[in-house]
Amino acid sequence: MAISSARKLCQNLIALAIQRCRISNNLCRLSILLKSPPEFNPPLLRVSISDTGAGSSLAEFKCMNCTSTQVSAETWDGVLSITTTSICDNEIHHYSLSFKETIATRRLSRLPTTPKNGRKFRQVGSEVSFTTQENIDDFVVWITQLCQKISILKIPMVAIELLVEQMNGPGSRCDHLLLAKDGILLPLSMPSIERLASGLEDYVLKHGNAVDKECQECFSSREQLKVGRGVACSGQSVKTTVQMAEAVIVITEVPESSNFSCLRACSKMTEVLYFQDFSPCSIPQLSLNALASIDWQSYGLTLISNAEDEDGCTILEWENLSPFTCIHIVLHSYHKEYPPSIIMKTNNVQNNLRTIGILKNQPVLTPQMHRRTQCDRNLVKKAVKIALDDLKAKYTGLFLSSHALKIRGYAPDLSRAIAGLILSSNDKDFQGECASLLGLQPVDINGEGIVDSCIKEKIIGVIEMNDIKPKYVKEYAPHLFEDNSIQKEESQDAEDEGEDILDL
């Protein structure tokens, strides 16, 4: 089933709320409250997204548009209720935005304001709500998964809660379905990539949040996870905005003794979790192409297919992956410096709304946006490759290239032959000399298989060492973060892989 526009709207409103939290640069709470008032038949679901971030700019909503036909065909009523105030406001503003109205200028209705009565400090933030006919149970499942994914980011200074208000009988009861507070508990100094890695580890340990707690049956400790991190960024100068891409890859090997449901969580498929500006979204086609164009073979992986499922999730399918091994990937593309300019903020909103089809006219990509899309593509690819190289460097033998695996296949025969040349020699001095070279004691020469296994170990060690590309070192070199360095590297990279050279 394709995702409904109510869900897309909800997802985008959450994204806007996250941006407001980030802009505020203070501890913030993002609350998502679901209510199902009993008096309606058929039952309606009231979705309210509130945040204690910076107040909402109406510019976010002015560009929203939607035809009455679209609204009537949808499960939401076409009306957004907006309540917002910022720290410098003396009042709380209320608006109603009706997409049923055909004339754009009449859509936004300003409602009576509420005075703050001097209580500036507490009353900062926004609340946006709408009503939908979606089944509450289905919606709860969907939004819970969405919030669990957002919690992977562990957004600094942002706590996220998901509440469902049960209104049965005379009273009402509020259930906390989710409270993600790691964002505010972790040290502020913790780098974003570390938060992302930690978040993905949590996610993986719970089998993609299919279970409530970490699965002790499969993972006795966090150290079992093999984690690779990759960060790439565009040049930083007066003219350019700092664009970041982070990639975390976690490899898990579920024990064969795991129960059936755990083994099901392990498959040849990888769902790529993609975040843009701290919000989950579908991976842009250009970035997906970039992901597909990675030379996976050089990491011993064969990518059979990459496709987006009906929920907008990107699924990578691997060949020859061990049935007990699973690859988890999360990507995050965002602006490092915030608050972003209002122009960028508007552009983001336009982007988000375009994806849900409620912008009246398809706006032409501005040069800035076009540049950003291209930049994302290259940065995402670069970050993933760095993460793969990171894994390769940290875990001996992991992700050996197809070529290295083939060469390694010769190691036993070669070592046996070399050992044979040593052991069958009738020159004892020569044997002693060889033992010394191998770091063995002369007496070890006569030990069964010792020389053979020592040589094999050394051959395999060199093969594995050679397979770690030298550019792994280069990519962490300081010049990467200097102006335009990424453009130069990407152009070379594109040439190497026979792709079009991108002019960033």
What 3-state class would DSSP assign to 16? helix
Least spacing, CB of residue 390 vs other proteins, in Å: 22
Tokens of 20: 């407001």
Kindly tell me which of 86 and 401 has the beta carbon lying closer to other proteins: 401
- Whole-angstrom Cα distance, residue 115 to residue 98? 24
- Whole-angstrom Cα distance, residue 338 to residue 22? 7
Kindly tell me which of 157 and 423 has the beta carbon lying closer to other proteins: 423
- Whole-angstrom Cα distance, residue 113 to residue 83? 9
Binding residues vs other proteins (CB under 8 A): 403, 406-407, 410, 413-414, 417-418, 420-422, 424-427, 430, 433-434, 437-439, 455, 458-459, 462-463, 465-466
Least spacing, CB of residue 7 vs other proteins, in Å: 51
Kindly tell me which of 316 and 450 has the beta carbon lying closer to other proteins: 450
Least spacing, CB of residue 422 vs other proteins, in Å: 6
- Mention every residue, 6+ apart, whose C-beta is less than 8 A from residue 131: 44, 45, 46, 47, 76, 77, 79
CA dihedral 480, 486, 487, 488 (to 10 degrees): 40
Least spacing, CB of residue 419 vs other proteins, in Å: 9
- Whole-angstrom Cα distance, residue 453 to residue 443? 15
- The dihedral built from the CA positions of residue 148, 150, 155 and 158, taken in this order, carries a sign that is negative
Least spacing, CB of residue 431 vs other proteins, in Å: 10
Q: Closest by alpha carbon to 195, among 144, 236, 246?
A: 246
Helix (H) or strand (E) holding 308: strand 302-308
CA end-to-end span of the chain: 38
- The per-residue DSSP string of 345-388 comes to HHHHHHHHHHHHT--SS-PPPPHHHHHHHHHHHHHHHHHHHHHH
Alpha-carbon distances, residue 457 vs 398, 420, 449 (angstroms) = 16, 16, 12
Whose tokens are 């548009």? That residue is 65
Kindly tell me which of 37 and 409 has the beta carbon lying closer to other proteins: 409
Kindly tell me which of 47 and 419 has the beta carbon lying closer to other proteins: 419
> Residue 195, Cβ neighbours under 10 Å: how many?
22
- Whole-angstrom Cα distance, residue 45 to residue 38? 10
- Whole-angstrom Cα distance, residue 291 to residue 282? 13
Kindly tell me which of 465 and 501 has the beta carbon lying closer to other proteins: 465
What 3-state class would DSSP assign to 219? coil
At position 277, the amino acid (one-letter code) is D
